[in-house]
Structure 1
Amino acid sequence: MYAPRATTVFLVATRPGDAESELLRQYLDDIGTYPLLNADDERRLASLILASRVAQERLDFDPAPKGRERTELMRTLHAGDDARAQFIQCNLRLVVSVARRYEGAGLGLLDLIQEGNLGLMRAVEGFDHEKGFKFSTYATWWIRQSIGRALADSSRTIRVPSHVREVYSLIDQSTEKLAAELDRQPTVEEIAELSGVSAERVALVHQHRRPLVSLSTPLDNDGDSELGDLIADEGAISPFESAAAALEKRALVQQLRRLEEREEEVLRARFGIDNHPMTLSEIGEKLGITRERVRQIESRALGKLRHPSVSRVWHEGQRSADAV
């Protein structure tokens, strides 16, 4: 099975104080050794990356090609890995340039660079040189998106999607402007008219932005009880639920035995029947096959379990379990 070679991206680990400054200095020295790419370089590298994706799709369709074809496919995959590494390394300074614009916004520069590097990797993977865009323009958008999302996630105790945060910002700006002009708090309708957001959505945002209350808030002066003590643990499993789950698992295992050995092995791993659930990639690595091949086996096995003859036995097993 082909495994992509690791790409050196210099993802930055955060260190406190002077150590952080030294780490940043060393990082900037390291990335400064990589030459900048010209337009011809970008087209060449992007072509190699595209060819490697085509080769990977070919291997996913037929994991075991023979002879010269396999040799050529593997050569193309390795060339794509090298192209990705060079493309990323030669644009790390672009990430630093963008990240510096966000200093003081809530994350340290090293964290901003790390998030920006993730955006750069997505840009390299998705860049289409045939559309005529400059890579720096395309990559800057992805870098800013990655940094912006990280800042949005760090700014609230509860994560709010970026597009929702943009609506919050628009409503806040409209509210502040109207309050200054009217010398009073504006109504929902006034905010909606200025912001272009519907009155219903403005009201919903106001409702959902009430102050957060910590579960550690004391309920009395002695501090013996906290607010969290009044909330039931919904994650606790009752003895009845535990027994029912065991019966259901036993019925499922009986159905899995009707599958081919490889299909049963994949579903057991996928649903964590014998241990913890595994991803498609983890299963593929364990079995020595591609991620796409694991997905195909899983799909075929689930299709068999949905077949009427199997479904009938499944429901009979469920009724037997319920009667115990």
Structure 2
Amino acid sequence: MKSPSPRGPRHAADRPVEVPKQSGSGKRPSRDATRRGRETAAVGSGKETERASIQGATADGDDGGNGTPAAPRKAVSAGRRDSYDGDTAYRLYLREIGEVALLTPAEEIELAARIKAGDRKARDHMIKANLRLVVKIAHDYERYGLPLLDLINEGNIGLMKAVERFDPAKGGKLSTYAAWWIKQAIKRALANQGKTIRLPVHLVDKIARMRRVSAQLEDLFGREPTDEELGEEMGITAARVAQWRSAAIRPAQLDAPIGDDEANALRDIVADEKQATPYRELEDKTVREMLEKMIVTLDVREQSILRQRFGYDGGEGKTLEEIGVQYGVTRERIRQIEAVALRKLRRMIEKLERSTKAPK
């Protein structure tokens, strides 16, 4: 079996990542890879929200028409009704995948040989035996913009690819090798679907690392770490931390329910800054009327120049040169006339302010 080669990212903005090589050198795997590769770890209750159906991976011969088990997204979405139903279905799913025994190294080698020979039952068996690994990794990417069960769906697709490419002759366990494919599938889904503004895959990975380090420091300090503390721990600047934090913010939906009873939506409490209040409209109207009374006291040419310069009558303001052409004078002469007219208006306003002051 040929050594796997990374496929190019779906989008040009995504950076290609080296596929982890299976090696029998006996080098100790990284702490992160080891932690991710523990498929024997018990799946915690976590945020039990829905059931991730794997009909394509568990049904013999169901290949979706292209030789790959059908993606479970549709089956998962169909189960979204309410919180109670989602919790129940999720627990049933965990119970279902927990009934499949984990594979021994000898069984992995045997199944891999059968898969290479085209045995679909062996392929399905290997997939089902490693579904708990997908659930474990998916929990690490919660709150990044996609529901947990969508993450499990994408992770299952990555697991299928890993099973098809796994070669035990190169050394290493399937769980360690599959963890890379699972995480790449999840991160690509987060980049493409998780946010209204799409983030590159490499940035999603950096934000995930930042959140892991932040959680560790929060446990250590008993409080949320500052950007400076987080940057020092990660070896980056505080400005870069702030930039990643900003990119990780999820946009809020105006129709999102708020409150315990969820009777109101966010749009009910968010003010429209562009919508003028009745008080502001009255104030603007009063100012316009007062300004109009002052402008009409100027001579005809001064009135015309001010109205054209500032678009007072509703049109767009004109340049000094444009008005100068109209009057047959230079732009400097128009500027002088404008300055004289503005000084007259300023004196009128100051006089009005003095007259309206309360007597001592």
Note whether the superposition's TM-score is higher than 0.5. Answer: no
Q: Which has more radius of gyration?
A: 2
TM-score w.r.t. length of structure 2: 0.38
Higher helix share: 1
